[in-house]
């Protein structure tokens, strides 16, 4: 009895000490729901990390511009072992989107929601990112994000979602995820890349909020898996959402997830999926994140993706770029940063480089009739190459360029870094920059620019084809163009500057059948002509509205 009494006294003293030290113990409740017991999570006002480590200083967007060089990144399929977490249902958004792109993105995302694992697998198969038994909701995060952007008209449907499957961002030989993102989906010329190595749970989203259309690559920490998603909406309170695939113990589903709440840091996907108690079910975001955002936001995205997409036949690798020089707005793009074979379109850069060398020698268009190289005058060479697409003239002018130093230094001075004359390779961005500089008469001498544009405007037998039909829709415009084709392999190209009284538009389009495609030369030609006609209608309608 004596021992028992002493024990009771000790227990009583300990309880008194606990109550003195922790006065709120046993009656602490959740601020939003008084009926819900609290487990001592930090208050929203402090937003302290879950660990006892000293918190890092708050980061700003400028701090995120570090090079993307995470050391140990992998993507795996997370197993399903623990009980599903309780998760708050999202609320319907109010009709307060800042622009049509935001509304389209949200509506498009809803088409991919599947609250049953079997239905989610069917959604994965409908995207067709690998066409195999491994095409399931468990490994579709990248393709799902790309498919949502395509459905919303924010990325062209000509881009293959497969290239976003199981991406790896490590800087090593077997990881080319960063290159895939930059070459296929989000060119650095038009997208910003931000990198943070801070756990997304602790990141300051109040100072640096996410925006609709942001593409996120969440990095695994010491355990877990990497994950990709797109921000599908941000509500009036600054709460960010994504439609993404996740597993809470009962299989992978595709749901609209609340990513974070700026005033309730213990809520949302970022908090839940960095929780250590998830164990073998899998965590993501503990190693930081990469944010990819369109320069200028959603309002800077191409405006004609949907109507022009419909004209491009499937089974073709399309490299396309359309830009309104009057407004500097990009109207359409498909693989603008990926190298391709330009066939005879390369003859315009060859002519420009040759003229730049002639400028250094003091030889200008009036001298082209008397000065020459390789047994022909420069007037004969330029006309044969640009108007008649003669390969002999092209070889002579290429030899002339090589004798006087080559094209590399001239192109580099113009910031044209991906174009070579042998082999013939370029990108839409390079060609667009050359055409823009030619039209604005700032890359080569103004007289030379006028001379070359005049050659490009001369009508030939092929001008009724390819981009030519745009003249049937807008009959008061002038098309300065250069087309090219190959039959083995099949490649059909055309590029030009279409000029009216109201505007000037750069158009570059190239198509070649995919490896397993059965599309013919005639199919690609017809598709390019449909593209030109539809573009003509869009330009005409925009001019009438103005």
The DSSP element (H or E) to which 2 belongs, if any, is helix 2-21
CB atoms within 10 A of CB 432: 23
Domain count, the chain: 2
Mapped onto helix, strand or coil, the DSSP state of residue 461 is helix
H helices of 361-497, in order, are 378-386, 391-403, 408-413, 428-439, 446-457, 470-473
Q: Are residues 227 and 80 in the same domain?
A: yes
Q: Are residues 317 and 198 in the same domain?
A: no
pLDDT score recorded for residue 282: 86
Q: How many helices (H) and strands (E) does the chain have?
A: 15, 14
Instruction: Burial-class residue 522 by CB neighbours within 10 Å (0-12, 13-18, 19+).
Output: exposed
CA 25/CA 334 separation, integer angstroms:
60
Q: Are residues 512 and 389 in the same domain?
A: yes
| % of residues, the chain, pLDDT over 70 | 82
* Cα 69 → chain centroid: 19
Residue where one domain finishes, among candidates 278, 295, 312? 295
* Cis bond before residue 489 (omega within 30° of 0): yes
Q: Are residues 290 and 340 in the same domain?
A: no
Tens of pLDDT along 454-507?
999 999 888 899 999 999 999 899 999 999 999 999 999 999 999 999 899 999
Q: Are residues 326 and 277 in the same domain?
A: no
Q: Are residues 291 and 306 in the same domain?
A: no
**Residue from 377, 340, 342 nearest 358 by CA:** 377
Asked whether 483 and 344 are in contact (CB, 8 A), the reply is yes
Tens of pLDDT along 91-136?
456 556 888 999 999 999 999 999 999 999 999 999 999 977 789 9
Q: Are residues 279 and 361 in the same domain?
A: no
The answer to whether residue 45 scores a pLDDT higher than 50 is no
The answer to whether residue 89 scores a pLDDT higher than 90 is no
DSSP, residue by residue, 231-264: --EE-TT--EEEEEEEESSS-EEEEEEEEE-TT-
The answer to whether residue 72 scores a pLDDT higher than 50 is no
The answer to whether residue 405 scores a pLDDT higher than 70 is yes
Q: Are residues 184 and 324 in the same domain?
A: no
Q: Are residues 395 and 447 in the same domain?
A: yes
CA 444/CA 441 separation, integer angstroms:
6
Tokens representing 167 are: 């991406």
Q: Are residues 351 and 409 in the same domain?
A: yes
Is the model more confident about 81 or about 468?
A: 468
Average pLDDT of the residues in 266-293: 91
**Is 180 among the domain residues?**
yes
Is the model more confident about 516 or about 168?
A: 168
The DSSP element (H or E) to which 321 belongs, if any, is strand 316-324
**Would you place residue 13 in the very low, low, confident or very high pLDDT band (cuts 50, 70, 90)?**
very low
CA 58/CA 371 separation, integer angstroms:
65
Question: Please, how many CA atoms are within 13 Å of residue 280, restricted to the half-sphere of its CB?
Answer: 4
CA 419/CA 98 separation, integer angstroms:
39
Buried b (16+ CB within 10 A) or exposed e, 321-344: bbbbbeeebbbbbbbbbbbbbbbb
Asked whether 465 and 443 are in contact (CB, 8 A), the reply is no
CA 251/CA 441 separation, integer angstroms:
60
Question: Which residue segment(s) compose the domain that 276 sits in?
Answer: 61-295
Instruction: Burial-class residue 207 by CB neighbours within 10 Å (0-12, 13-18, 19+).
Output: exposed
**Is 341 among the domain residues?**
yes
Angle, alpha carbons 150-156-162 (nearest 5°)? 70
Asked whether 283 and 274 are in contact (CB, 8 A), the reply is yes
Residue 534: which CATH number? Answer: 3.40.710.10
Tokens representing 413 are: 């001075």
**Is 15 among the domain residues?**
no
CA 86/CA 21 separation, integer angstroms:
31
Average pLDDT, the chain: 84
Residue where one domain finishes, among candidates 236, 268, 295? 295
pLDDT score recorded for residue 134: 84
Q: Are residues 207 and 348 in the same domain?
A: no
H helices of 333-390, in order, are 347-360, 378-386
pLDDT score recorded for residue 314: 94
**Would you place residue 172 in the very low, low, confident or very high pLDDT band (cuts 50, 70, 90)?**
low
CA 408/CA 416 separation, integer angstroms:
9
pLDDT score recorded for residue 419: 98
* Cα 34 → chain centroid: 45
| pTM for this entry | 0.82
Contacts of 112 by beta carbon, 8 Å cutoff, 6+ apart? 123, 144, 147, 148, 151, 243, 254
* Cα 437 → chain centroid: 25
Residue where one domain finishes, among candidates 233, 266, 295? 295
Q: Strand pairing of 316-324 and 372-373? A: unpaired
CB atoms within 10 A of CB 372: 17
Q: Are residues 257 and 384 in the same domain?
A: no
**Is 13 among the domain residues?**
no
Asked whether 500 and 543 are in contact (CB, 8 A), the reply is yes
- φ, ψ for residue 181, nearest 5 deg: -65, -45
**Would you place residue 211 in the very low, low, confident or very high pLDDT band (cuts 50, 70, 90)?**
very high
DSSP, residue by residue, 479-496: EEEEEEEEETTEEEEEEE
**Is 367 among the domain residues?**
yes
Contacts of 221 by beta carbon, 8 Å cutoff, 6+ apart? 199, 283, 286, 287
Strand order in the sheet with 329-334: 329-334, 316-324, 504-513, 490-499, 478-487
Average pLDDT of the residues in 365-377: 98
pLDDT score recorded for residue 520: 95
First to last CA, the chain: 97
């Amino acid at each position: 009895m004596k021992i028992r009494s002493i024990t009771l006294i000790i227990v009583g003293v300990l309880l008194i000490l606990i109550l003195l030290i922790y006065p709120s113990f046993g009656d602490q409740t959740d601020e939003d729901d008084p009926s819900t017991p609290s487990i001592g999570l930090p208050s929203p006002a402090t937003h302290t990390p879950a660990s006892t480590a000293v918190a890092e200083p708050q980061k700003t967007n400028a701090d995120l511009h570090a090079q993307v060089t995470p050391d140990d990144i992998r993507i795996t399929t997370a197993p399903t072992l623990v009980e599903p977490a309780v998760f708050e249902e999202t609320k319907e958004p109010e009709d307060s989107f800042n622009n049509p792109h935001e509304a389209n993105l949200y509506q498009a995302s809803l088409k991919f929601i599947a609250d049953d694992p079997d239905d989610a697998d069917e959604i994965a198969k409908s995207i067709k990112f690998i066409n195999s038994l491994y095409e399931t909701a468990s490994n579709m995060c990248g393709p799902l994000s790309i498919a949502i952007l395509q459905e919303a008209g924010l990325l062209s449907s000509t881009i293959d979602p497969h290239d976003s499957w199981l991406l790896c961002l490590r800087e090593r030989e077997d990881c080319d995820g960063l290159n895939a993102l930059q070459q296929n989906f989000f060119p650095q010329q038009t997208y910003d890349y931000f990198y943070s190595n801070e756990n997304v749970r602790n990141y300051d989203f109040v100072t640096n909020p996410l925006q609709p259309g942001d593409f996120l690559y969440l990095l695994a920490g010491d355990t877990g898996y990497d994950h990709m998603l797109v921000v599908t909406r941000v509500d009036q309170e600054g709460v960010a959402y994504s439609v993404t695939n996740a597993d809470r113990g009962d299989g992978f589903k595709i749901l609209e997830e609340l990513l974070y709440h700026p005033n309730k840091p213990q809520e949302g996907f970022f908090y839940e999926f960095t929780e250590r108690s998830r164990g073998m079910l899998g965590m993501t975001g503990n190693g930081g994140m990469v944010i990819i955002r369109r320069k200028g936001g959603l309002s800077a995205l191409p405006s004609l993706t949907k109507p022009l997409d419909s004209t491009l036949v499937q089974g073709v690798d399309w490299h396309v770029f359309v830009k309104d020089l009057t407004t500097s707005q990009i109207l359409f793009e498909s693989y603008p940063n990926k190298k391709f074979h330009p066939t005879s379109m390369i003859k315009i850069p060859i002519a420009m480089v040759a003229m730049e060398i002639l400028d250094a020698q003091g030889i200008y268009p009036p001298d082209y009739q008397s000065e020459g190289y390789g047994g022909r005058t420069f007037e004969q060479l330029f006309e044969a190459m640009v108007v008649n697409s003669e390969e002999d003239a092209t070889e002579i002018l290429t030899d002339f360029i090589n004798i006087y130093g080559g094209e590399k230094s001239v192109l580099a001075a113009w910031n044209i870094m991906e174009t070579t004359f042998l082999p013939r390779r370029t990108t839409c961005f390079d060609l667009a920059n050359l055409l823009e500089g030619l039209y604005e008469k700032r890359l080569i001498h103004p007289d030379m620019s006028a001379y070359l544009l005049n050659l490009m405007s001369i009508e030939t037998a092929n001008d009724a084809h390819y981009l030519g039909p745009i003249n049937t829709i807008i009959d008061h415009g002038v098309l300065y163009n250069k087309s090219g084709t190959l039959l083995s392999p099949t490649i059909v190209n055309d590029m030009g500057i279409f000029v009216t009284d109201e505007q000037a538009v750069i158009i570059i389009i190239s198509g070649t059948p995919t490896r397993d495609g059965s599309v013919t030369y005639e199919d690609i030609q017809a598709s390019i002509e449909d593209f030109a006609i539809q573009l003509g209608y869009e330009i005409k309608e925009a001019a009438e509205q103005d």
